[in-house]
Structure 1
Amino acid sequence: MNERINPWGDDLCSDYSNLFKEFGLQHASDGLVARLPNPNRLWRRGIVFAHRDFDKFLNSFEKGKPVAVMSGIKPTGDFHLGSKLTVEQIIYCQKAFSGKLFYCIADLEAFADNGQSLETSAEHAIQNTADLLALGMDERNALVYKQSENKAVSNLAFIAARKTTLATLDAIYGHQNLGLYFSALMQSGDILQPQLKEFGGPKHVVIPVGIDQDPHIRLCRDLAQKIDPHFLPPAATYQRLFRSLDGTTKMSKRDPLNVISLNDEQELIKKKVMRALTGGRATAEEQKRLGGEIEKCVVHELMFFHFQDDDMALKKFQERCTSGGISCGDCKKEVAQKICSYLKNFQERKKKLLPKARKMLEKQ
């Protein structure tokens, strides 16, 4: 079955296994994970499930060669849990591999996809940069920039445009307006920027993203050596998409009732978690006898993806559910409290870091 991935949509992936055959992804094998310095829970739990050429990136790192990390955000609102997942992977790579982080505030894409003004994006950019800092980004080894203010990226995008046909873009993305096509070419510029002479020249660069962003990676890998024969095709790691609270789509800013924002207030978080999809049985008696179905449960995914870093504690949490040892209502209350505690601390850190975020963006 042919499956087109839409980086601008909200659809969940219907069949992860099919992506390996359809798009030539590589498995994030146990052998690959064993090579990582202190792998985080995303690697340990198979949340990062696939890659492109990450083994080559690791080879360079292990030989002591310089490497870099690249990613970005469309600045259309607050970070949510899906954003957090990607940022945690970015920060892991920055610290584990001592790679300079290039982080793009994709304000031109926000205009192309959402019609959002550059002025509005600039305000969101400050908030998003503070989010990065509060989640642990090392600003001493990072370049955070706005697409609209980066001439090098624009130049690369124009060169990429001369190497790309409309048929190629249509085959990768489907029929889209020209603004989205050009924003895709801008992203190729973003991805290739770390290999420019002013940043040390060609090197292996990894882009940690959700699987929905793979079209951008495929396009850029095809373009890299057409733009400069010395450029190395970018590597990528892919994490599974985190579901919306009702379980119907990927978590997205477009659906505020089914997303947990990192800036949500405590009472709102509790209300949202209490509304979330569970794998509970039809009656309390069935729940005690049969246990919950965690494979259906978004509340379980909140812990699995985000809020229980300890693998043994997660196993106990799962066993209590599947053995019928807790009701869904009580489980939701416990999880909501854990999320509230985490986000309260996060929001306090972020507030203190807002002035630093503003200064980082003013330097450009």
Structure 2
Amino acid sequence: MRLLHTSDWHLGRSLHREDLLPAQRAFVDHLVATVRAERVDAVLVAGDVYDRAVPGLGAVELFDHALHRLAELAVPVVLISGNHDSARRLGIAARLIERAGVHLRTETARCQEPVLLADAHGPVAVYGVPYLEPALVAAELGADRAGHGAVLGAAMDRIRADLAARPPGTRSVVLAHAFVVGGESSDSERDIAVGGVPSVPASVFDGVDYAALGHLHGCQTINERLRYSGSPLAYSFSEAEHRKSMWLVDLGPGGEIDARRIDCPVPRPLHRLRGTLAEVLADPSLRRFEQHWLQVTLTDQVRPERAMEQLRACFPHTLQLAFEPELRPDDGLPSYAARTRGRDDTEVALGFVRHVRGSDPDQAERALLAEATRSVAVAAGGEL
């Protein structure tokens, strides 16, 4: 059986205010084309369909468009909710749209209820485990504590029990949205540490032939049977070096796994530049990044005026600008308390500007800061 494993679409998300819906629409086109060209038997979407619990209209319309196109191909789709999704909203009319071959698993109670598929070698049970918030589902699952490992372990125990009652030779696939030990994270994933340790051991999935994982945005292999597809697009500059893809998984007659990556379209590459403004603007070797989305970190000692305007004149797709002076004047004292001891408010304010900007305030700035601190002291009823 041939499965296409994808996740973390985050429909409706932007990249530093850059609208990504056109790129997400191109991904959906690519997904449908891949299903058709590779003769996929089922599509697995491992959570975070939307970027937020109440998605915008454009995101909802794109999701509706994707499901209609997949249904037209008569290819089953199994989809779970992730930590960005509202499980209840995503699961509206789930039992109704199952008639079209789209199987939404957003309810904890249905995690042990498989979607039953079959090929020439027999049945395949596909289980969907939605993102499990420990404090909300521990009692329902009978977990011994409210932790990520405990609730996912309890859900997997139910799945293994159901699988054991099925005919011998039934192969199994599980979709889950979780942080598995050994996975590498990026800056664009929402922290799920509430409820204790956020990660779960890979052993929690023992006994199934393939676990299609979602949540981490980098495509990666935990082991042969546990894989993250990653997000189809880069959603932060920490993903600049990611190769965005989906997994095309062939599930053999005895549960053997043969997986290969299908690359996703790249709307515009991401890159990070670092240096002084003059260096970045003058270096001819950087011209190859003119059409990239850029994060630029300037190391000038004094913050340049109109830095973003100058950068965008050469690199029109600069999205993020940061300032990190390479050298900061330091008085050599070890702590904040030591640096401020014996100094009045004006001197502390001047020292703060010096530390952040990397250079001393000029005469006009010194006068302005002195007047500001004096006014605050008078308002407070004291004197400097």
> TM-score, normalization: structure 1?
0.29
Q: Which has the higher contact order (CA 8 A, sep 6+)?
A: 1
Query: In proportion to residue count, which structure has more strand?
Result: 2
- What is the TM-score normalised by the length of structure 2? 0.28
- More helix by proportion, 1 or 2? 1
